[in-house]
Structure 1
Amino acid sequence: MTDASTAFSDPQAVARYTEGPPRIVPGYTGMQRMAGLLLAERIGPTGRVLVLGAGGGLELKSFADAHPHWTFDGVDPSAEMLALAEQVAAPHMARIRLHRGTIDDAPAGPFDGATCLLTMHFLDVEERRRTAAEVRRRLKPGAPFVVAHFSIPGGEAQRALWLQRYSAFATVSGVDAEKAEAARAAIAEQLTILSPDEDEAILRDAGFTDAELFYAGFTFRGWVSFA
């Protein structure tokens, strides 16, 4: 693994992207399905959903497959990853608008729900706080916000153990052991990984309520909260 800007712009890395999450994120497909169900609890059969970090198109396809009357705005800073999203979610592109950039480039809404899956850990703490607040500002009252990303309890010793487990899971899932170890080292050095308590505090500080943990898979955790 290299830094995010390189990994998400390199043509070969982007071409292989869709193979990655199911191998390195425990229960990835189930997590996506749960995210869609949590959105549907509040959205109903029709609605407009903001997907932050939509590059690659995997969650767009998952949500659009399951909910044929939802529309989506997907936001991602990588042009290459947005091009991949167009391919992956091709059958649904009449209902999807893609925007290159960050939360600042997302439409004003108001949206019926939002997701940010496997993205927040690329942002430093202050940018994560600002992003959560900007998502909240774009949501209708009571709308769900579903997030999932690296989140590890305990101190540095615990973090090292859990990242080693991340590497071990990737290896048994078919990732080359040397590449899995290189990914572990890069993650430890480059990503901003908070504790679950800190992650929940960011949601509360942004104005979200009733944050509930719905997913935990080794180094990854996911929450639903409400605007």
Structure 2
Amino acid sequence: MAAPLGYDLTVQQLIPGYASLARLAVALLAASQRASLPGASVLVAGCGTGAELVEARSQRPDWQLRAIDPSAEMLAEAQQRLGPASEGINWQQTTVEGLEAQSCFAGALSVLVLQSLPDDGTKLAFLTALARSLEPGGQLVLVDLMAPDRSPLQAQVEAAWLGFQRASGLTADTEELEALTHGLHPIGRARLTALVNAAGFGDPARIFQALGYEGFLLQRLG
């Protein structure tokens, strides 16, 4: 993967709308019934270099944040990026499954994580752990690359993505792009709905789309 220091710039050049994703995700969660309460506990699953955490500190400095990521390098970059604002955040090098949280959080954010997990039970385990970590009625903002619909216009969409990258000045080398765009496991809308329902969420409500990238708002049932 691209070094954390250049990760955000590369992803902004790779993904349309990425620069606004963290702001949108935090604003959506902040408008939910449970996470809107003062001092709500919020989980950032796969916090990466901290984009969602920066926005959370800006929009909702009262939130009690738990930031997790399996990469020590990413956690260190996120802590450095936030500077003094990193104080008070509960940082853990772990996965959602390893966290073993039970109804702890009013809301959660997961941006560009599910896409990297194979659909061999691993996606379901991740989503189930997220649902389990939320209070009943708690919400999750999920953003990922999705499998394309069958369409005669799909070739044009893919060409537009390459054009967007060139126009954005994407300069990442081949190895970096391979790490960011390959080895992913996107799924379609129907499969996502089946998985989130099995995990304990209601049907996903789409709140963002830019070419193949889509964002969804999910609510834990019960």
TM more than 0.5: yes
Q: Which residue of 2 aligns with 1:135?
A: 130
Q: What's the CA shift for 1:168?
A: 2.4
Q: Which residue of 1 aligns with 2:141?
A: 146
Give the conservation status (yes or no) of the 8 Å contact 1:115–1:145: yes
Return the alpha-carbon distance in structure 1 between the equivalents of residues 110 and 180 of structure 2: 22
Return the alpha-carbon distance in structure 2 between the equivalents of residues 84 and 175 of structure 1: 22
Q: Which residue of 1 aligns with 2:210?
A: 217
Give the conservation status (yes or no) of the 8 Å contact 1:147–1:222: yes
**TM-score under structure 2 length normalisation:** 0.86
Equivalent residue runs for 1:1-227 within 5 Å: 7=1, 13-42=3-32, 43-44=35-36, 45-106=38-99, 108-109=101-102, 110-125=104-119, 126-155=121-150, 162-176=157-171, 179=173, 183=177, 187=181, 189-227=182-220
Tell me: CA distance 1:192–1:158, structure 2 relative to 1, closer, same or farther (3 Å).
farther
Q: What's the CA shift for 1:122?
A: 0.8
Return the alpha-carbon distance in structure 1 between the equivalents of residues 159 and 50 of structure 2: 28
Deviates more, 1:76-85 or 1:17-26: 17-26
Give the conservation status (yes or no) of the 8 Å contact 1:22–1:29: yes
Q: Which residue of 2 aligns with 1:3?
A: none
Cα-to-partner distance string for 1:141-181 (whole Å, 9 max, x where unaligned): 101100001013325987766444333222111103x8479
Which secondary structure does the structure 1 equivalent of 2:31 belong to? helix
Q: What's the CA shift for 1:196?
A: 2.2
**TM-score under structure 1 length normalisation:** 0.85
Q: What's the CA shift for 1:215?
A: 0.1
Structure 1: gaps of 5 or more residues = 1-6
Q: What's the CA shift for 1:212?
A: 0.5
Higher helix share: 1
Give the conservation status (yes or no) of the 8 Å contact 1:136–1:207: yes
Structure 2: gaps of 5 or more residues = none
Return the alpha-carbon distance in structure 2 between the equivalents of residues 146 and 139 of structure 1: 12
Letter of the 1:37 partner, please give it: A
Give the conservation status (yes or no) of the 8 Å contact 1:51–1:75: yes
Cα-to-partner distance string for 1:191-216 (whole Å, 9 max, x where unaligned): 10111222222212211114200000
Which secondary structure does the structure 2 equivalent of 1:113 belong to? strand
Q: What's the CA shift for 1:185?
A: 9.6
Return the alpha-carbon distance in structure 1 between the equivalents of residues 61 and 179 of structure 2: 41
Return the alpha-carbon distance in structure 1 between the equivalents of residues 155 and 89 of structure 2: 39
